Amino acid sequence: MTLALFDLDHTLLSADSDYNWGQFLVRHGRVDADRYAEANHNFYQQYQAGTLDIHEYFAFSMRVVSEQDMATAHAWHRDYMQEFVLPYLGQPARELVEKHRALGHTLVIITATNRFVTAPIAAEFGVDNLLSIEPVIENGRYTNRIDGVPSFREGKVIRLQQWLTDRDETLAGSWFYSDSHNDLPLLELVEHPVAVDPDERLRARAEQEGWPIISLNAWLQATPPAPAAPAP
């Protein structure tokens, strides 16, 4: 079966879901606004520069979630989806997913953001296969420790290869859509790499290799969304 692989943040979603989760926590006063926003921004800059320590960032980003019971955490997430996800989910991304679905391709979202944040977003796209960073769960709660190999940079390749082995699938005819140079290890493996609104380093590589360059986020510049009002 042909695979259609999609990065999530700034690819299918016209925003960064992990960064926006932090903005949600700040907006609702669940963290110290100034210190958290500064740290969240610094980690995002490290991600863009390719210097991010994923374990350090995960411990930071999941700390508040790990302090809640699951019912509370998931209730927060429902509000987050309305305020900081759905306004950034554009029709071009939905149409791309549906194009591959109509072709009978196996759809997979593969992301360096954690499952707590991304599982409901994948469900919004109707994509059942999600490879994400997995939090350790203890005593019925999320922790801020990573379970197994994080799906980040080369880790995406490792996690995908494990998934392919378990399903007796191959990368024959495969597609992968991404915006980030952090995904070059996987882009180099698939048969059809596609750069989506790429960062400078990925754009340069795509132009060098003759990879297609497309935009799923142009609608955002034309009609920038306002985050939804906070839930009462």
Residues 7, 16, 18, 179: which is the catalytic one?
A: 7
pLDDT digits (tens, 9 = 90+) for 54-89: 999 999 999 999 999 999 999 999 999 999 999 999
pLDDT digits over 179-218, tens only?
999 999 999 999 999 999 999 999 999 999 999 999 999 8
pLDDT of 37 over the 70 cut: yes
Q: What is the largest CA-CA distance in the chain?
A: 50
Average pLDDT of 112-121?
A: 97
Which residues are 110's β-sheet partners?
131
Would you kindly state where each structural domain of the chain is located, as residue ranges? 3-222
Is the pLDDT reported for residue 14 higher than 80? yes
Q: Enter the DSSP assignment of 181.
A: G
Buried b / exposed e over 73-109, threshold 16 CB at 10 Å, is beebbebbbebbbebbbbebbeebbeebeeeebbbbb
Phi, psi at 84, each rounded to 5°:
-125, 0
Q: Is 147 a catalytic residue?
A: no
The predicted structure's pLDDT at residue 196? 98
Task: Specify the pLDDT at position 104.
Answer: 97
Annotation marks residue 9 as catalytic: yes
Amino acid residing at 24: F
* H or E element in which residue 3 lies: strand 3-6
- For the chain, count helices (H), then strands (E): 11, 8
Name the CATH topology of 3-222.
Rossmann fold (3.40.50)
pLDDT tens digits, 134-180: 999 999 999 999 999 999 999 999 999 999 999 988 999 999 999 99
The per-residue pLDDT of the chain, averaged, comes to 93
Judging by DSSP bridges, how do beta strands 192-196 and 213-214 pair with one another?
Answer: parallel
